[in-house]
Amino acid sequence: MDWKGIEIIVKREAEEAVNNILYEVGIKGTSVESVDNLIAVQDDPTINYFDEKILNTDPNISKITGYLPDDSDFDEKCQTIKTRIAHISQYGLDPGNYQIHIYPVKEEDWATAWQTFYKPTKIGKRVVIVPIWEDYQPSENEVVVKMDPGMAFGTGTHETTQLCTRALDRYIQPSDCVYDVGCGSGILSIIAAKLGAKKVVGVDMDPVAVDAANADVKLNDLQDKVEIKKGDLLEVIPKDQNADLIVSNILAEVIIRLIQSIRDYLKDGGIFIASGIIKKYVDDVKNHLIHNEFEVLEVNNQGEWYSIIAKKKEK
Number of domains in the chain: 2
Pairing between β-strand 294-302 and β-strand 266-278 as defined by DSSP bridges: unpaired
Non-local (6+) Cβ contacts of 154 within 8 A are 161, 184, 185, 186, 187, 188
Q: What is the pLDDT of residue 309?
A: 98
32, 157: one domain: no
Estimate the crossing angle of helix 252-264 against helix 282-291, to 10 degrees: 20
152, 53: one domain: no
Last residue of a domain, one of 50, 84, 116: 116
Whether the CB-CB separation of 227 and 208 falls below 8 Å is answered with: no
177, 98: one domain: no
Gap between the Cα atoms of 202 and 200, Å rounded: 7
What is the CATH number for 292? 3.40.50.150
93, 131: one domain: no
287, 298: one domain: yes
The identity of residue 258, as a single letter, is L
Gap between the Cα atoms of 61 and 10, Å rounded: 6
Largest CA-CA distance found in the chain, in angstroms, rounded: 66
What is the CATH number for 17? 3.30.70.120
Q: Quick: pLDDT tens for 164-210.
A: 999 999 999 999 999 999 888 889 999 999 999 999 999 988 787 78
Of the candidate ranges 225-229, 234-238, 263-267, the one whose mean pLDDT is the lowest = 234-238
Average pLDDT value for residue range 49-64: 53
Q: What is the pLDDT of residue 28?
A: 58
Q: What is the pLDDT of residue 282?
A: 95
- Closest to 85 measured CA to CA, from 114, 64, 103: 64
94, 145: one domain: no
Does 150 score more than 60 pLDDT? no
Alpha helices in the chain (DSSP H): 15-24, 74-86, 107-117, 159-171, 187-194, 207-219, 252-264, 282-291
Alpha helices in 134-251 (DSSP H): 159-171, 187-194, 207-219
Q: How confident is the model at residue 152 (pLDDT cuts 50, 70, 90)?
A: very low
Whether the CB-CB separation of 215 and 184 falls below 8 Å is answered with: no
Q: How confident is the model at residue 48 (pLDDT cuts 50, 70, 90)?
A: very low
Of the candidate ranges 69-83, 173-187, 227-241, the one whose mean pLDDT is the lowest = 227-241
Mean pLDDT of the chain: 82
108, 197: one domain: no
264, 179: one domain: yes
Q: How many CA atoms lie within 13 A of 96 on its CB side?
A: 23
Q: Quick: pLDDT tens for 101-148.
A: 888 877 666 556 666 667 788 898 899 988 888 888 888 889 999 987
Gap between the Cα atoms of 92 and 239, Å rounded: 32
Range of the domain at 24: 3-116
Query: Which DSSP letter does residue 149 get?
Result: T
Last residue of a domain, one of 95, 116, 137: 116
183, 73: one domain: no
39, 175: one domain: no
Q: Quick: pLDDT tens for 211-226.
A: 888 989 999 999 999 9
Strand order across the beta sheet in which 294-302 lies? 226-230, 199-204, 177-181, 243-249, 266-278, 305-312, 294-302
Q: What is the pLDDT of residue 27?
A: 75
157, 95: one domain: no
Last residue of a domain, one of 100, 116, 132: 116
For the full predicted model, state whether its pTM sits above 0.85. no
81, 184: one domain: no
For residues 174, 156, 166, 282, the Cα torsion angle rounded to the nearest 10 degrees is -120
